[in-house]
């Protein structure tokens, strides 16, 4: 882990023994789904929310991604067939992990149109747009205040469990890499975090990095970015994915940089307009490689990360998983359009 707080909060006996399950059973201080309207600021209340181009495009097999709680492992099993998975192309916008803040711009029945803060895009200055079920959102002034005033924990493992006890017993739900939650207290083995619905739960210390309010991860090296990316080798591609349940090409590069406190745009075409140009002969690990139409012209449609020795790591397409390739051998149609350094 890159950083560990040097002071550990000593918890009162009552807090150490407190159960997140009991907290969840109590009346929530947050207003889940109901009452949300345009202009509200809300938080994602599921492991990972998937945003659609418009309401009602989903199929019965997509149902596990649209509930609260979600079952993304089941959804991935439903998408085992390549054509079933590829069908999502152009129908999904992006994803947002638990605790992500959104601005609600429209509500239509059981769906809300939102913009996801922290996912930069030229499409909207406020964040990345898309539709998701209203029931996957929650309003909470308390959680909002905690995110602005408390230390925060960022998940560094590919996935980890929220549990009801600091010993890790009584697992509650699994959450993704890059999830950021306010810290309420710490023990040497665990971190108690606030959840958007008003409850709390525990995370293992070795699954997260904890930062003081206003603090960011240490500036990464290119090798740091590559090491983080390699955590996800073998993870199946998912159009619009930005979580440990699936990445698309730019969701992968966006998420790896975000994990190190580096802000880059969400999509490959916008990423290609960001950062510092790098010539092929000057490539270093961590640089991003962009691909457009044959001849390297036109709209950028793909991005990978250079890892050295002529190789790149990337999330290729719906039939494949995060993998390492010789990037020039892979680029059979001569689509390379340039490289950028973001750090």
Would you state the pLDDT for residue 35? Answer: 87
Band of residue 222 on the pLDDT scale cut at 50, 70, 90: very high
pLDDT of residue 263: 97
Q: How confident is the model at residue 33 (pLDDT cuts 50, 70, 90)?
A: low
- Helix/strand/coil for 318: coil
Beta-bridge partner residues of 316? none
At 312, phi and psi to the nearest 5? -135, 155
Residue 97's alpha-carbon distances to 12, 34, 176, 241, in angstroms, are 31, 20, 7, 10
pLDDT value of residue 19: 33
Cα 2 to Cα 69: distance, rounded to the nearest angstrom: 31
Kindly give, in sequence order, each residue whose CB lies less than 8 Å from that of residue 90, ignoring residues fewer than 6 positions away: 53, 239
Task: Point out the residues that are catalytic.
Answer: 249, 302, 314
List residues bridging with 160 in a β-sheet: 175
| Residue range 311-332, pLDDT digits in tens | 999 999 999 999 999 999 999 9
pLDDT at 27: 37
| 8 has a pLDDT exceeding 60 | no
Distance CA(57)–CA(50), nearest Å, equals 12
The tokens describing 51, both together, are 């945003």
Average pLDDT over residues 103-125: 97
Across the range 240-247, mean pLDDT stands at: 98
The pLDDT of 133-140, averaged and rounded, is 97
Terminus-to-terminus CA distance in the chain, angstroms? 19
Model confidence at 31, pLDDT cuts 50, 70, 90, reads low
Task: Calculate mean pLDDT across residues 153-162.
Answer: 98
**Per-position DSSP letters for 44-89, written without gaps between them:** E-SSEEEEESSTT---GGGGGGSSSS--HHHHHHHT-SHHHHHTTT
Please compute the mean of the pLDDT values over residues 260-278 and round it to a whole number. Answer: 98
pLDDT at 12: 32
Position 6 confidence tier, pLDDT thresholds 50, 70, 90: very low
Q: Whole-number mean pLDDT of the chain?
A: 92
Per-residue pLDDT at 227: 98
**CA-wise closest residue to 327 among 309, 340, 301:** 309
Helix (H, G, I), strand (E, B) or coil at 182: strand
pLDDT for 138 beyond 70: yes
Per-residue pLDDT, 25? 33
Give the pLDDT band of residue 238 (cuts 50, 70, 90): very high
């Amino acid at each position: 882990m890159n950083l560990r707080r040097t002071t550990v909060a000593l918890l009162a006996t009552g807090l150490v023994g407190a159960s997140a399950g009991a907290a969840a059973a109590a009346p929530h201080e947050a207003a889940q789904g109901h009452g949300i309207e345009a202009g509200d600021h809300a938080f994602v209340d599921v492991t990972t929310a998937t945003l659609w181009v418009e309401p009602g495009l989903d199929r019965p097999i997509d149902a596990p991604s649209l509930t609260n709680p979600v079952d993304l492992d089941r959804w991935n099993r439903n998408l085992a067939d390549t054509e079933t998975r590829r069908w999502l192309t152009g129908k999904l916008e992006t994803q947002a992990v638990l605790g992500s803040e959104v601005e609600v711009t429209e509500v239509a029945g059981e769906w809300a149109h939102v913009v996801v803060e922290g996912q930069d895009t030229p499409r909207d200055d406020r964040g990345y747009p898309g539709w998701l079920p209203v029931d996957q959102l929650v309003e909470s002034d308390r959680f909002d205040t905690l995110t602005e005033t408390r230390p925060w924990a960022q998940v560094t493992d590919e996935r980890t469990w929220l549990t009801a006890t600091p010993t890790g017993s009584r697992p509650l739900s699994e959450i993704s890499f890059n999830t950021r939650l306010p810290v309420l207290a710490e023990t040497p083995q665990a971190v108690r975090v606030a959840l958007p619905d008003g409850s709390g739960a525990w995370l293992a210390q070795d699954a997260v990095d904890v930062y003081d309010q206003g603090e960011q991860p240490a500036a990464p090296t290119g090798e740091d970015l590559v090491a983080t990316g390699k955590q996800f080798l073998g993870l199946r591609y998912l159009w619009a994915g930005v979580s440990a349940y699936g990445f698309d090409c730019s969701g992968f590069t966006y998420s790896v940089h975000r994990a190190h406190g580096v802000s880059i745009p969400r999509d490959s075409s916008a990423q290609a307009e960001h950062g510092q140009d790098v010539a092929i002969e000057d490539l270093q690990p961590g640089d991003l490689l962009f691909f457009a139409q044959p001849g390297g012209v036109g709209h950028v449609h793909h991005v990978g990360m250079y890892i050295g020795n002529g190789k790149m790591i990337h999330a290729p397409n719906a039939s494949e998983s995060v993998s390492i390739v010789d990037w020039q051998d892979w680029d059979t149609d001569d689509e390379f359009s340039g490289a950028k350094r973001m750090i």
